[in-house]
């Protein structure tokens, strides 16, 4: 059997979408408003620390939002549009008639889709005359992306990372520092909230929740600083709609119509929503698209969490939002998949789930790493452990299709590259080495 030579469906730089898609009008009902009761945060504080344009982009006017020219230039520099590749060797290995496509965000300069929103956010900070950006990072992909975007637009960058993650993931810390970012452990001895947490427990391991509080307090105190987020918020989902817009154009190049299934891993929900939101209108017009989110059993918000008001940070700066959550005090098991461990998902992804538009499945580390390993051996791609959850979900879906005699078109979103996360694969090697 000869291989069909057209397995890549590239868009040229000039074909990159020049506008973000405002998906809010496509939702079955409006997003419930965030509320500030009971915390120390307020609308006023948010207006101080967030660039004004990003606050507007949480609820944009009109169907499209133009991407500023300097952002388009940088998006092309970082590797957009990213490739869509038909996973023909994986299909053969699975002996499936499903057509499987990979949307490859792993090729972006920092190895993760997060760089797309980082570039846009850093640009608006610069435009507004801010000098420094402050944020938190989980596994480090957001921190690295924001550090690079800060370099591009001449901003200083401070990143807080849970102390336990800093110790587990030394490479991304080095990567951030090479880009001149300040990287500090959370809880931080330099903030009031950090000192309080350390007084309660000198060995506090830190969490995303503590790192967000440290970052917001720091942004409030430093002159000309902005606080930015890598997920969970509408303007982040808006920037990531490029993923879905590109995919739509690329499927057309591949001679496909609309996909039957879109599969992404999910934590806050920004890679998932970025891929899926541009297809929601088609779904609501009757296209039978299956939207599937793959989460980690270490933090199974969408399959086992409660739909409730909760906030993201420990100090109470962030508003309460209605979302699927494991509860604010939730401490996840120490798994390797740092990027999927947050305690709640975004209000947007939670609403999709609540309304039955989004299916969700939880996968454990072992199954995810196995799926990632299969993609490495068939397609040659070393993908992020987070992304491997989406592949695991796709493998299960292919089996289901086989039983039903269906031949679906499946798009798997590869959210990132796995070269800095190899330690997680050790268990796979040990298992295979065992007699």
Ligand X SMILES: *Cc1c(COP(=O)(O)O)cnc(C)c1O
Enumerate binding residues for ligand X (CB under 6 A): 112, 114, 141, 231, 265-272, 339-340, 384, 386-387, 415-416
Min dist CB 404 to ligand X, Å, is 29
Min dist CB 371 to ligand X, Å, is 14
HSE of 92 in the Cβ direction (CA atoms, 13 Å)? Answer: 11
The whole-angstrom separation of Cα 103 and Cα 213 is: 34
Min dist CB 35 to ligand X, Å, is 22
The whole-angstrom separation of Cα 171 and Cα 143 is: 12
Cis check: omega of the bond before 192, within 30 degrees of 0: no
Min dist CB 424 to ligand X, Å, is 13
The whole-angstrom separation of Cα 81 and Cα 89 is: 23
Q: Cβ closer to ligand X: 117 or 261?
A: 117
Q: Cβ closer to ligand X: 360 or 401?
A: 360
Min dist CB 250 to ligand X, Å, is 20
The whole-angstrom separation of Cα 249 and Cα 176 is: 34
Min dist CB 39 to ligand X, Å, is 22
Q: Cβ closer to ligand X: 51 or 339?
A: 339
Helix (H, G, I), strand (E, B), or coil: what is residue 82? Answer: coil
Min dist CB 165 to ligand X, Å, is 13
Q: Which residues lie closer than 8 Å to 11 by C-beta, 6 or more apart?
A: 81, 246, 249, 250, 253
The whole-angstrom separation of Cα 251 and Cα 86 is: 10
Burial of 416 (0-12, 13-18, 19+ CB in 10 A): buried
In this chain, which residue has its C-beta nearest to ligand X?
A: 416
Q: Cβ closer to ligand X: 191 or 207?
A: 207
The whole-angstrom separation of Cα 146 and Cα 51 is: 15
Q: Cβ closer to ligand X: 224 or 419?
A: 419
Of 140, 145, 124, 139, nearest in space to 49 by CA: 124
The whole-angstrom separation of Cα 276 and Cα 262 is: 7
Q: Cβ closer to ligand X: 88 or 330?
A: 330
Q: Cβ closer to ligand X: 86 or 389?
A: 389
Q: Cβ closer to ligand X: 36 or 113?
A: 113
HSE of 308 in the Cβ direction (CA atoms, 13 Å)? Answer: 12
Min dist CB 415 to ligand X, Å, is 3
The whole-angstrom separation of Cα 190 and Cα 98 is: 54
| Element at 310 (helix H, strand E) | strand 306-310
């Amino acid at each position: 059997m000869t291989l069909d030579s057209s397995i890549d469906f590239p868009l040229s730089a000039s074909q990159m979408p020049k506008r973000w898609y405002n998906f809010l009008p496509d939702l079955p009902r409006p997003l419930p408003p965030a509320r500030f009761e009971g915390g120390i945060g307020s609308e006023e504080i948010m207006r101080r620390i967030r660039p004004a344009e990003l606050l507007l982009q949480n609820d944009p006017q009109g169907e499209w939002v133009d991407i500023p020219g300097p952002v388009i230039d940088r998006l092309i520099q970082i590797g957009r549009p990213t490739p869509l590749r038909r996973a023909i060797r994986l299909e053969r290995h699975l002996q499936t008639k499903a057509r499987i496509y990979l949307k490859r965000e792993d090729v972006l300069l920092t190895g993760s889709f997060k760089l797309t929103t980082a570039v846009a956010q850093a640009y608006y900070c610069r435009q507004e005359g801010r000098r420094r950006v402050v944020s938190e990072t989980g596994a480090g992909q957001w921190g690295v992306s924001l550090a690079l975007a800060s370099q591009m637009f001449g901003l200083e960058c401070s990143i807080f990372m849970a102390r336990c993650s800093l110790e587990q993931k030394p490479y991304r810390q080095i990567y951030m520092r090479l880009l001149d970012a300040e990287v500090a452990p959370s809880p931080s001895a330099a903030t009031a909230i950090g000192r309080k947490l350390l007084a309660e427990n000198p060995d506090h391991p830190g969490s995303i929740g503590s790192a967000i509080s440290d970052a917001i307090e720091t942004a409030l105190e430093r002159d000309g600083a902005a606080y930015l987020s890598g997920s969970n918020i509408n303007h982040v989902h808006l920037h990531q709609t490029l993923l879905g817009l590109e995919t739509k154009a690329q499927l057309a190049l591949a001679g496909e119509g609309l996909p039957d299934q879109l599969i992404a891993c999910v934590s806050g929900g920004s890679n998932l929503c970025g891929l899926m939101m541009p297809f929601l209108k088609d779904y609501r017009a009757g296209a039978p698209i299956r939207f599937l989110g793959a989460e980690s059993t270490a933090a199974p918000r969408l399959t086992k969490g409660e739909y409730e008001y909760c906030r993201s940070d420990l100090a109470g700066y962030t508003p309460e939002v209605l979302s699927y959550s494991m509860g604010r005090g939730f401490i996840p098991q120490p798994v390797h998949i740092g990027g999927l461990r947050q305690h709640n998902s975004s209000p947007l992804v939670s609403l999709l789930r609540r309304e039955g538009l989004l299916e969700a499945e939880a996968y454990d580390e072992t199954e995810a790493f196995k799926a990632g390993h299969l993609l490495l051996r068939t397609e040659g791609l070393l993908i992020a452990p987070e992304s491997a959850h989406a592949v695991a979900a796709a493998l299960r879906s292919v089996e289901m299709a086989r039983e039903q005699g269906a031949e679906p078109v499946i798009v798997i979103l590869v959210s990132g590259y796995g070269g800095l996360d190899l330690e997680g694969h050790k268990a796979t090697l040990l298992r295979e080495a065992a007699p």
